[in-house]
Amino acid sequence: MADWIMGWRSSSIRSSSPSPLQDGSTFPRVSPEPPPLPPAAQVKSAGVVFDGCHANPTLNPATVDTLTTGAWIKSGEPLCLIGDSETGKSHLLIALGAAAAHQGIQVRYTLATKLLNELLEAADERQMEKTIARYGRGDLLCVDELGYMELDRLGAELLF
């Protein structure tokens, strides 16, 4: 588990890193009684595959199994994936979002740069409540690539 639990990185407002999902995407909802998910070794949902054994051998499959249950979402606990570049954090974030959607949890995915830019714009236009309400509608908000942003004080206050 070590440095894996937390899913954001921080560095610059303009991201050159490609996004695996289109920014602002929502995962499709599944029927109320979806079949059970397979174990962590192969989480397949909404076209996303996470193979914990090959993506990052230091990641404990039991941890992924626990996270795919969604109990942390239902109890309102945050999750943040932390680690070096190219270790599979975004892949795991998307797989967990897909697993949550598979369970009927409403999931939204966005890049941290997009979220921060929208919050800055909303602050300028006095539309914060509307923007926060839009992002708060779902059960789970997956914010990716925080590490590619450079935050000033206002940006940090808005984002956190």
Instruction: State the CATH number of the domain containing residue 147.
Output: 3.40.50.300
In a domain, 25, yes or no: no
- On whether residue 30 sits in a domain, the answer given is no
Sequence-separated (6 or more) residues with CB below 8 Å from residue 53: 41, 61
0.75 exceeded by the pTM?
no
Which tokens go with 115? 């979220």
In tens digits, what is the pLDDT along the chain, a chain of 160 residues? Answer: 233 333 332 222 233 334 445 556 555 544 444 444 444 434 444 444 555 445 577 788 888 889 999 999 999 999 999 988 888 889 889 989 989 998 999 999 999 999 999 999 999 999 999 999 999 998 999 999 988 888 899 999 998 8
19 lies in a domain?
no
Contacts of 99 (CB under 8 A, 6+ apart): 37, 43, 45, 67, 68, 70
| Residues 6 or more apart in contact with residue 149 via CB below 8 angstroms | 10, 11, 12, 13, 15, 112, 113, 116, 155
Number of domains, the chain? 1
Asked if residue 7 is part of any domain, the answer here is: yes
Assigned domain for 23 exists? no
Full domain range(s) for residue 91: 2-13+38-159
Q: Tell whether 69 is covered by a domain.
A: yes
Strand segments (E) across 55-151: 107-111, 140-144
pLDDT of residue 69: 92
Predicted local confidence at residue 116, as pLDDT: 94
The reported pLDDT for the residue numbered 50 is: 54
For residue 18, tell me if it sits in a domain.
no
Closest-CA residue to 10 (of 151, 149, 154, 155): 149
What tokens does 113 get? 């740069």
pLDDT tens profile 38-84: 444 344 444 445 554 455 777 888 888 899 999 999 999 999 999 88
Rounded Cα distance between 10 and 29, Å, is 30
Confirm whether 74 is domain-assigned: yes
User: What is the per-residue pLDDT for 10?
Assistant: 27
Q: Comparing C-alpha atoms, which of 158, 159, 151, 157 is closest to residue 13?
A: 151
